[in-house]
């Protein structure tokens, strides 16, 4: 006999945000607060939000993964009791989230065919800092005795010392590095027959550490070494992405589009070489083409939601420690009169923007089809949206690049990902080298530099 449980009333949250004493002026001040279990992070230049514990968790599947997560978030906010003494973006109730790149639930070849395609996690505790203002939010489920007292957040979870992973070795992932050149060559061939204009092809490598990998070790190194990137951690997906899919704040929408890459030079004379390389990148027709598709895809996806938009005519060169990218900062104003009863949230904007041509290709459907056909990789959450959303829908979502997936089965194992935009003029050998450069942040985080 099967028993159908009556629908549960949505859980009721009690949320309290209060100002806290200044944190040390360090890039890692926020991530240093994190306990070792399932840390949540969205930090850049030392500011941002980190969280721990799980008051609530919503897992979603397939093409509806964004809309279902959004619906669950709205439902839970309806009855929430919120006391917010700070009132800046990131205070009050927030949920961290990450979503799979593809709609298709992975088949038998996947590590875990039942895994969710998306998750929103409402932490029990959030610590945040923005422009010198620091706060703590505690989130309790009504009737939940396990929730920490508002003034006890530092002690609610035992603070286990951060451990380094020890010696780390790397092996080929789903497709061996040598074979990946043929995958790229196939992408180029398809583009040359005019099947599509651009496709982004990715690969993974598998790192095995001597000791269990402590995500906080990775977060600390990334927050320090890649401070201009968004250092994120959600459910075992850790990275430092330079690409902001969307930030929505008080009606202003921002997106940093990246596509087109050149490696940074190391050693003596690197300043001069960097200047030369930046000029080379800015004038490279192949990189400009890759970039144009990406910037256009973002502008086209945002257009229906916005009353005005600024897309600079030419990209600038973004300098990161490992590479330089062609970059365009798109800014737009949300159109309050469109989008139904409430303006679109940052999460629904992320859903509309995903997958941009920076991680999929042009046209989108043909590119996604080709990725499924030839890439030979289960991207999982790599290149999907990762970030946070607040009660008013404002929030920040990055693209989960320069990232790694920590294995749930083997805590010493980590999958690192990198991908490259392929156009007609792409060279498989150069693309393999570019993918190696894009793996550098996570190799560095693991201490493999
Ligand atoms: C797909 C990745 O990077 C994207 C973002 C910036 C530059 C890219 C490129 O030049 O190919 C990619 O479009 C990755 O890092 O895995």
Phi-psi domain of 34 (left: phi exceeds 0; alpha: psi -120 through 50; beta: other): beta
- Sort strands 118-122 and 56-60 into parallel, antiparallel or unpaired: antiparallel
Å from CA of 275 to ligand 1 middle: 21
Domain membership flag for residue 24: yes
Domain membership flag for residue 116: yes
The pair of structure tokens assigned to 32 is 């240093």
ω into 363 cis (within 30 of 0): yes
- Sort strands 361-362 and 198-209 into parallel, antiparallel or unpaired: antiparallel
- Write down the pLDDT at residue 111: 47
DSSP letters along 174-218, please? Answer: SS-HHHHHHHHHHHHHHHHTTS-SEEEEEEEEEEEESS---HHHH
Å from CA of 371 to ligand 1 middle: 15
The alpha-carbon radius of gyration of the chain (Å, integer) is: 21
Phi, psi of 420 (to 5 degrees): -140, 140
- Sort strands 252-263 and 413-422 into parallel, antiparallel or unpaired: unpaired
Asked if ipTM goes beyond 0.95, one says yes
Which residues, at least 6 apart from 171, have a Cβ–Cβ distance to it below 8 Å?
205, 206, 208
- Residue 301 is part of which domain span? 13-445
Å from CA of 84 to ligand 1 middle: 38
Q: What is the mean pLDDT of residues 156-163?
A: 76
Residue nearest to atom 1 of ligand 1 (CA): 419
- The mean predicted confidence, pLDDT, of the chain is 92
Q: Which pTM was predicted?
A: 0.94
Residue 418 near ligand 1, beta carbon < 6 Å? yes
Domain membership flag for residue 139: yes
Provide the domain count of the chain.
Answer: 1
Q: Check if the beta carbon of residue 324 is closer than 8 Å to that of residue 262.
A: yes
Residue nearest to atom 8 of ligand 1 (CA): 259
pLDDT above 70 (res 58): yes
Would you call 315 exposed, middle or buried from its count of C-beta atoms within 10 A (0-12, 13-18, 19+)?
buried
Each residue of 269-285: pLDDT tens digit? 888 999 999 999 999 99
- Write down the pLDDT at residue 4: 39
Would you call 313 helix, strand, or coil by DSSP?
coil
Domain membership flag for residue 1: no
- Write down the pLDDT at residue 160: 85
Q: Check if the beta carbon of residue 31 is closer than 8 Å to that of residue 41.
A: yes
Each residue of 89-124: pLDDT tens digit? 999 999 999 999 998 855 544 445 556 799 999 999
Domain membership flag for residue 26: yes
Domain membership flag for residue 2: no
What are the residue numbers of the active site?
198, 243
Domain membership flag for residue 3: no
Each residue of 219-243: pLDDT tens digit? 999 999 999 999 999 999 999 999 9
CATH at 343: 3.60.120.10
The residue length of the chain stands at: 449
Domain membership flag for residue 40: yes
- Write down the pLDDT at residue 148: 52
């Amino acid at each position: 006999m099967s028993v159908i449980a009556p629908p549960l009333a949505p859980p009721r949250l009690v949320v309290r945000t209060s100002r806290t004493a200044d944190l040390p002026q360090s890039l890692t001040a926020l991530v240093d607060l994190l306990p070792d279990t399932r840390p949540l992070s969205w930090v850049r230049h030392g500011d941002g939000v980190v969280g721990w514990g799980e008051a609530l968790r919503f897992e979603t599947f397939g093409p509806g993964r964004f809309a279902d997560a959004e619906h669950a978030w709205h439902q839970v906010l309806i009855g929430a009791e919120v006391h917010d003494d700070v009132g800046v973006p990131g205070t009050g109730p927030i949920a961290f989230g990450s979503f799979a790149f593809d709609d298709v639930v992975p088949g038998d070849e996947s590590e875990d065919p039942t895994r969710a395609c998306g998750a929103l996690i409402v932490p029990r505790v959030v610590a945040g800092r923005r422009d010198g203002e620091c706060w703590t939010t505690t989130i309790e489920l009504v009737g939940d005795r396990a929730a920490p007292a508002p003034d006890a957040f530092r002690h609610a979870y035992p603070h286990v010392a951060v451990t380094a992973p020890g010696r780390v070795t790397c092996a080929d992932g789903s497709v061996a590095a040598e074979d990946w050149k043929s995958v790229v060559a196939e992408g180029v061939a398809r583009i040359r027959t005019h099947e599509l204009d651009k496709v982004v092809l990715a690969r993974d490598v598998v790192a095995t550490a001597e000791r269990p990998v402590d995500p906080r070790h990775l977060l600390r190194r990334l927050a320090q070494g890649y401070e201009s990137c968004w250092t994120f951690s959600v459910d075992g997906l850790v990275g430092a992405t330079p690409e902001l899919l969307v930030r929505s704040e008080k009606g202003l929408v921002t997106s940093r589009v990246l596509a087109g890459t050149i490696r940074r030079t190391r050693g003596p004379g690197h300043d001069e070489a960097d200047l030369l390389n930046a000029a080379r990148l800015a004038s490279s027709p192949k990189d400009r083409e890759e970039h144009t598709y990406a910037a256009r895809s973002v502008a086209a996806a945002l257009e229906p939601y916005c009353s005005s938009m600024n897309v600079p005519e030419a990209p600038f060169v973004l300098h990161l420690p490992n590479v330089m990218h062609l970059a365009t900062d798109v800014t737009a104003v949300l159109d309050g009169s469109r989008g139904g009863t409430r303006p679109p949230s940052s999460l629904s904007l992320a859903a509309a923007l995903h997958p941009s041509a920076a991680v999929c290709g042009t046209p989108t459907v043909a590119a996604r089809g080709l990725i499924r056909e030839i890439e030979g990789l289960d991207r999982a959450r790599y290149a999907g949206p990762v970030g946070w959303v607040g009660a008013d829908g404002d929030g920040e979502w990055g693209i989960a690049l320069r990232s790694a997936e920590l294995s749930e089965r083997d805590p010493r194992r980590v999958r690192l990902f990198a991908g490259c935009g392929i156009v007609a003029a792409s060279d498989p050998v150069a693309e393999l080298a570019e993918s190696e450069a894009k793996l550098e942040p996570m190799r560095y985080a693991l201490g493999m530099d």
